[in-house]
Amino acid sequence: MKIGSRQIFGDKKLLLASASPRRRELLGMIGIEVHQAAVKDVDESYPCDMLPEDVAPFISRKKAEAYADELMPDEILITADTVVIDGGKVLGKPSDEADAVAMLRELSGHTHKVVTGVTLLSPSRMETFSETTYVEFAELSDAEIAYYVEHYRPLDKAGAYGIQEWIGYIGVNGIRGDYYNVMGLPLRRLYACLKNM
């Protein structure tokens, strides 16, 4: 059952500017009806001296700014970006399968951070926030990493893994924070911020 926009968000129309099917699915899980905005090719580079924790909110804001002159008065746009941080190093999406294997070897046996930045944009207001979740990986064998990359091809995922897939079932010892943040959207905080918008 979808929540009618008038019931919770007044007369606002919610737009999602993301090519990620997981983000749309996550919003659907809490009953929020969103409309797909045309996804734009936005430069996702960031200053080399930026703190790793600031990268995801910075990129989510850049994505939102690309739509700043197009929103109607009754629309709220949602943009997001997720990065994995291990040992102070930002891991985005892998460039190919070899890069995915290298990333998973780096994460194996470590606790890393998953940071999702979210920006909410209306014609009169922009709000950006981020959420951090800590994920502890078990030691992964080369065979397990190769199997996962070959069968799940996680090239569209930050850090080269999806916690909701096979590797999450067998390789994650524990998490601290919002599980859905690791999938790409911190749902509880996003819902609260949407109500405030």
By annotation, the residues acting in catalysis are 81
* φ, ψ for residue 65, nearest 5 deg: -60, -25
Contacts of residue 10, defined as CB under 8 A and 6 or more positions apart, other chains included, come to: none
Contact between residue 178 and residue 135 where contact means Cβ atoms under 8 Å apart: no
Going by C-alpha positions, the residue among 178, 190, 105, 188 that lies closest to residue 135 is 178
DSSP assignment letter at 33: -
Here the tokens at position 9 are 């968000």
Give me the amino acid identity at 65.
Answer: E
**What's the rounded Cα separation, in Å, for the pair 98 and 90?**
17
Q: 37 by DSSP, 3-state: which?
A: coil
CA 146 to chain centroid: 24
Burial of 7 (0-12, 13-18, 19+ CB in 10 A): exposed
- Kind plus residue range of the DSSP H or E element containing 135: strand 125-137
